[in-house]
Amino acid sequence: MFKKLLIANRGEIALRIVRACREIGITAVTIYSEADRNSLHVRHADEAYLVGPAPARESYLNGGRIIEIAKEAGADAVHPGYGFLAENADFAQACVDAGLTWVGPSPECIRTLGDKVQARKLMQEAGIPVVPGSEEVTSQGKAASAATRIGYPIMVKAAAGGGGRGIRTVYRPQELPTALEAASKEAASAFGHGALYLEKFLDPVRHIEMQIIADGRGNVVPLGERECSIQRRHQKMIEEAPSTAVSPKLRRQLEEMALRAARATGYTSVGTLEFLVDRKGRANFLEMNTRLQVEHPVTEMVTGVDLVADQILVAAGEDIPYREVPMQGWAIECRIAAEDPFNDFLPSVGTVSFVSVPGGPGVRVDSALYDGLEISYYYDPLIAKLCTWGRTRLEAIQRMRRALREFKIVGINTNIPFHLQVMEDSHFIQGKLDTGFVEKRFAGRKENGLREEQVALLAAAVLAHRKGSQRGPAPGRRPESSDWRRRNRPGRSEAGARGWQRST
């Protein structure tokens, strides 16, 4: 087993991995940018090192510097979390070349499956149906010919990357040139690679994914499906497990396709296969994510599996400790983001002056929120993941409504009012979902007094909090900062990596 693991990420996912390391008995090392000096993932880690300035390209995307820190800290392994360098095959290979264990699939797997065109070919060879589409299009003429063959409407998609970037929907031939140019520019900016391909635009469909874990001895275990159809601009907003659209028969089909895909690629670690499922229950492969997913908590809640800990154990060479895991109950995740849902979901920046997270039976909050947190434009607006579990889907929804109303965040706008509206929507409650749900059901929606109610409740909460804080700390209790000591090595500059180490 590893003695020390470096987490090449930030925020709630870095904190999630720190907690898994603690339970396994591994020393957790984190990195932080100048904007994240006071972050919870820094406070909770055993050691933390300054990686660079606030911009991600100078800090969390600086692979060379991250590897330097890992070696300086004496780490055995690197966990990339999700986002940033998690699906960067070159960074994974650089870690391996530096003698570090990569907590994830092999660099070869990442490279192959990260190229969506190549991944489609592999799945077809494995007998897995794919969404009708094309190979890489290298000119407008070839794109036009492929679009005519596929049939409009189509989607222009980036061959690399994810997160909804580099995608444009095209309904008519005259729209194609503009869409190609815009998608290629966005893909090149986001992923450093502007290659494109085309897919048939299917509507209505549901976005269903299958979670798997595979070890180095050929064992592959499917861990159930997740429903990810509530999304905006191809970015997921709400996920749940299981899915109301998946029958036992379809679940077996998805599991079989996932097993074939993993074995065809020699896959190890956790991974997710994404499918589009039409009204007739026909599933077509969309892509495979070679990393831990943002929405992994809902799978953990219905299976009882610790995906992060098991991912680390598999990377250390251990076998998967189970072969079949049934799902029990229902889990829902709402992604809480610093954005204004009633102003085209524009990002909200500022200082979180007060936060109070919900609790109670069946409620889980993965976040790195704290009073005084600065929300900036430097990073993704995702600030928390609120998950609820129930014996039935309705119970999970009712619990989510209660938890959303308890979640208090003062100082910035959040999308909590949007999530409340979804949880009260009749179509959502009935499970009538597809990938166009948000556009069809929430276009032009107003606040309906939700924000005014929230503001009044939050103001009262802040006043109560401030009144309580004026009383000072309890007698004999040291402030939190006294539990830490800075470790400055001789000759190291402010711009260099600084370690922080817990006092014993």
Helix, strand, or coil (residue 463): helix
For residue 65, give every residue at least 6 positions away whose Cβ sits within 8 Å of its Cβ, in sequence order, or none: 51, 52, 59, 497
Instruction: Give all strands (DSSP E) within 283-440, no chain letters.
Output: 283-289, 330-337, 339-340, 346-347, 350-352, 354-356, 363-367, 373-375, 382-390, 408-410
- Residue 187 has a pLDDT of 87
Q: Which range has the top average pLDDT, 158-167, 382-391, 494-503?
A: 382-391
Domain 132-200: give its CATH code.
3.30.1490.20
Helix (H, G, I), strand (E, B) or coil at 360: coil
- Write down the CATH number for the domain with range 206-452: 3.30.470.20
Q: What is the pLDDT of residues 228-279, one digit of tens each?
A: 999 998 899 999 999 999 999 999 999 999 999 999 999 999 999 999 999 9
CATH 3.40.50.20 domain span(s) along the chain: 4-103
Cα–Cα nearest to 87, from 163, 18, 161: 161
Q: How far apart are CA 94 and CA 66, in angstroms?
A: 11
Cβ count near 94 (within 10 Å): 19
Q: How far is residue 204's CA from residue 32's CA, in Å, rounded to a whole number? A: 42
Q: What is the 3-state secondary structure (H, E, C) of 84-101?
A: CCCCCHHHHHHHHHCCCE
Give the span between the Cα atoms of 397 and 424, in whole angstroms. Answer: 9
Q: Which helix (H) or strand (E) holds 142?
A: helix 140-150
Q: What residue ranges of the chain are covered by domains with CATH 3.30.470.20?
A: 206-452
Residue 57 pLDDT = 95
Q: What is the pLDDT of residue 496?
A: 38
Mean pLDDT score of the chain: 90
Mean of pLDDT values over 302-324: 96
Which letter does DSSP use for residue 323 in this model?
A: S
Q: What is the 3-state secondary structure (H, E, C) of 412-453?
A: CCCCHHHHHHHHCCHHHHCCCCCCCHHHHHHCCCCCCCHHHH
Residue 455: pLDDT band (50, 70, 90) is low
Phi, psi of 468 (to 5 degrees): -70, -35
How many other CB atoms are there within 10 angstroms of residue 406's CB atom?
Answer: 15
- The mean pLDDT of 371-392, rounded to a whole number, is 96
Strand partners, 232: 235
- The whole-model pTM stands at 0.88
Cβ atoms within 10 A of the Cβ of 477, count?
Answer: 9
Point out the residues that are catalytic: 291
Residue 486 pLDDT > 60, yes or no? Answer: no
Identify whether the C-beta of residue 347 lies closer than 8 Å to the C-beta of residue 301: no
Mean pLDDT value of segment 426-445: 90
Write down the residue that tokens 């959502």 correspond to.
428
Q: What confidence category does residue 476 fall into, taking pLDDT thresholds of 50, 70 and 90?
A: very low
Residue 192 buriedness (CB in 10 A; 0-12 / 13-18 / 19+)? exposed
pLDDT recorded at residue 340: 95
Domain 4-103 belongs in CATH node 3.40.50.970: no
Rounded to the nearest angstrom, the gap between the alpha carbon of residue 223 and the centroid of all alpha carbons in its chain is 17
Confidence of residue 497 (pLDDT cuts 50, 70, 90): very low
The reported pLDDT for the residue numbered 503 is 35
